[in-house]
């Protein structure tokens, strides 16, 4: 195992959210992550844009429509968390939180645009599994 691989390893100790961001159309999750060579965990906030990421994924890949407002809320929670988890993983692969400091992983635009196609590929690959989870947990 190379030193580079070791530095990519991390453990998620806790996740809190989703929180509605007050000044932008996004939800956020706060992750507490720890790498094997760190003495203490660090915070990583991951933002999921409502229209460009959450709604886009639901409409283009999951094709989930209908349901009560409670069912739609639960679907949003499930899908948003999956997107945030994947953005955390892609951020790790890109070295966004390799240093021990608190970090925010925002929208995959501008300087993070190169990660957007990776997120979209993941969305395509995971759509059947997430549809099944929604069917089992929400009934839609």
| Span 58-75, pLDDT tens digits | 999 998 878 899 999 999
Domain boundaries along the sequence of the chain: 3-138
pTM of the full structure: 0.91
Hey, what are 38's tokens?
């760190």
| Span 13-41, pLDDT tens digits | 999 999 999 999 999 999 999 999 888 99
How much is the pLDDT for 1? Answer: 39
Q: What stretches of the chain adopt beta strand conformation (E)?
A: 11-20, 26-34, 42-49, 103-105
């Amino acid at each position: 195992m190379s030193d580079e691989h070791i530095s990519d390893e991390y453990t998620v100790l806790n996740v809190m959210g989703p929180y509605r961001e007050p000044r932008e159309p996004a939800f956020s999750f706060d992750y507490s992550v720890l790498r094997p060579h760190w003495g203490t965990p660090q915070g990583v906030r991951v933002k999921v844009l409502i229209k460009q990421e959450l709604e886009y994924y639901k409409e283009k890949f999951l094709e989930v429509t209908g349901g009560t407002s409670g069912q739609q809320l639960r679907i949003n929670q499930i899908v948003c968390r999956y997107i945030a988890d994947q953005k955390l993983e892609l951020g790790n692969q890109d070295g966004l939180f390799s240093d021990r400091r608190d970090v925010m992983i925002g929208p995959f635009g501008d300087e993070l645009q190169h990660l957007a196609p990776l997120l979209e590929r993941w969305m395509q690959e995971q759509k059947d599994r997430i549809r099944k989870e929604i069917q089992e947990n929400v009934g839609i």
